[in-house]
Amino acid sequence: MTKPLVVSIPHSLGRDEAMRRLKTGLTRAASSVPVLSVDEERWEDNRMIFRVRALGQAAAGHVDVAEDHVQVEVVLPWLLQRFAEVAQAAIQNRGKLLLTKKS
């Protein structure tokens, strides 16, 4: 089994505000990336479980929301593993933007 890609993003919003922002963030982020679509997004307490598709490949993971950070864990299919560093940087940058800008 492949090793998951893990990204931790610090924030100072508190859990409730971070969750509020994230509940609209995945779909909005996917709409700005033409090759990315959201197949599934569901919440269980403070965890979002998701499945996305990029370049015809499916990736699944979850987002855990804590008081002071968000941790994203996603398992990429072998074809997308070549883009893991790019994906990690994109998740980090979009996450910081979503969790730090005024909203």
- Using CA atoms, how far residue 16 sits from 12, 68, 69, in Å, is 11, 11, 12
**Tokens encoding 32:** 């700005």
Work out the pLDDT band at 51, boundaries 50, 70, 90: very high
- Residue 72 main-chain phi, psi, to 5 deg: -105, 130
> Is 11 buried (19+), middle (13-18) or exposed (0-12) by CB count in 10 A?
buried
Residue 86 pLDDT exceeds 80: no
pTM above 0.75, yes or no: yes
Domain boundaries, the chain: 5-97
Provide the pLDDT confidence category of residue 102 given band limits of 50, 70 and 90: low
Q: Which class would CATH give 5-97?
A: alpha beta
Q: Rounded to an integer, what distance in angstroms lies between the CA atom of residue 103 and that of residue 99?
A: 9
